[in-house]
Amino acid sequence: MVESPCVIGVDLGGTNVRLGLVHAGRIMARAEQAVRVERSPAAMVDFLARVITPWRSTTPAPQAIGIGAPGIVDPQRGVILKSPHYPEWVGFDMQAQLDAATGLPVILENDANAIALGEATDGAGQGFANFIMLTLGTGIGGGLILNRDLFRGDVGFAAEVGHMVLDYAGPACPCGGHGCWELYASASAFPQLIDQSDHPLRRQFLDHFHGESGRVTPADVYRLATDGDLFANALWKTFGRFLGTGIASLTNVFGVDHFVIGGGMATAWDFFVPEAHRALARHTYPETAARIQLHRARLGDDAGILGAAALVARRLQ
């Protein structure tokens, strides 16, 4: 076992840019900035370089920079092709620019893939040859760790597991498809889960939100469920059922037993996981259902930084 190198991990999130100096899976120093003021590629490179330059004189000194970026990333060329949070970033050659600004080698990867690698290296995926990382956010982000490494397919991008079909005749998805998994088991699913429910307490629940399901956030549903609201509890069960159905599908396709589940909605773990297991049992052979293990992601809010760090540390070892 080679000792893990000291590296820098950068998490280009939708709200904040966060970066950390990482050694042996621990964050030794960190910095954060709201993204609003850092829209242009030049301003972002400048911000990162200003934080990173003083870190270069620490002991041990960082040897490289890993970046997890949302959107469509070309990891081979180190270019952000398109990013949902930064409309200006089209064909942004971040790798070359940050390398020039800091003198450190830079590796760029899709953020969901970086998080999967982070959980593989320092989190809930440690020791598993194969696992599927699911990040439950606005959609369902995915990362495939197969044979102990990231599998990117032919496109080189992240797995679009959120767009697996769960109902061929289902509603239209913004991706252009129909009945995609993330329409049923992500943050954006709640308004529809509420509207389609025939639960007797639905109307009473909606009174908290002026009768508008579109105002309900997963955080609201979690808070109400912990307060004992029965409809909120039923919503998490429905969410869990759809989550488990999709996991059953993935299990049948991959023959992979381990799933690591993170993202904002993992907070409600105890409310949805039992129902997810019931759905797994409903959609797989009994032997298969007995093998499946759902693991809660362990890197939490630091997953982006640690994932980006794990990404680059692997290349150095």
Residues at the site binding a second copy, with contacts judged by CB under 8 A: 129-130, 142, 144, 146-147, 151-169, 175-178, 180, 184, 242, 245-246, 248-250, 252-258, 282-286, 288, 291
- CA 49 from centroid of its chain's CA atoms: 26
104 to each of 8, 99, 230, 241, how far by Cα in Å? Answer: 10, 5, 54, 46
Contact 182, 163 (CB under 8 A): yes
Q: 3-state class of 269 per DSSP? A: helix
Nearest distance, CB of residue 166 and a second copy, angstroms: 5
- Burial zone of 201 (CB within 10 Å; 0-12 exposed, 13-18 middle, 19+ buried): middle
Q: How far is the CB of 59 from a second copy (least distance, A)?
A: 39
Between residues 45 and 243, which has the closer beta carbon with respect to a second copy?
Answer: 243
Nearer to a second copy, 63 or 130 (CB): 130
User: Least distance to a second copy from the beta carbon of 28, Å?
Assistant: 35
Residue closer to a second copy, measured from CB, 4 or 251:
251
Which CB atom, from 4 or from 188, has the smaller least distance to a second copy? 188
Q: Which helix (H) or strand (E) holds 240?
A: helix 230-254
Report in angstroms how near the CB of residue 294 gets to a second copy at its nearest. 14
CA distances from 229 to 200, 226, 234, 270 (A): 12, 7, 9, 15
Which one, 74 or 167, has the nearer CB to a second copy? 167
Q: Is 56 helix (H, G, I), strand (E, B) or coil?
A: coil
- Closer to a second copy at the Cβ: 47 or 157? 157
* Whole-number Cα distances in Å, 129 to 111, 113, 285, 295: 21, 16, 22, 15
CB of 159 to a second copy, least distance (A): 6
CB nearer a second copy, residue 185 or residue 216? 185
Q: How far is the CB of 197 from a second copy (least distance, A)?
A: 15
Task: Decide if 106 contacts 100 (C-beta within 8 A).
Answer: no
Determine the longest span between alpha carbons in the chain, in angstroms.
63
Shortest approach of a second copy to residue 269 CB, angstroms? 22
- Least CB distance from residue 307 to a second copy, whole Å? 19
N-term to C-term CA, the chain: 9
Is 257 within 8 Å of 292 (Cβ atoms)?
yes
Least distance in angstroms from the C-beta of 79 to a second copy:
16
Say how far apart CA 308 and CA 113 lie, in whole Å: 9
Nearer to a second copy, 180 or 305 (CB): 180
Inter-residue long-range contacts of 40-45, CB under 8 Å, 24+ positions, other chains counted: 40/88, 41/88, 41/89, 41/92, 41/94, 41/97, 42/97, 44/17, 44/86, 44/94, 45/94, 45/97, 45/98, 45/101
Nearer to a second copy, 52 or 280 (CB): 280
Instruction: Name the region of 176 (left: φ>0; alpha: ψ -120 to 50; beta: rest).
Output: left
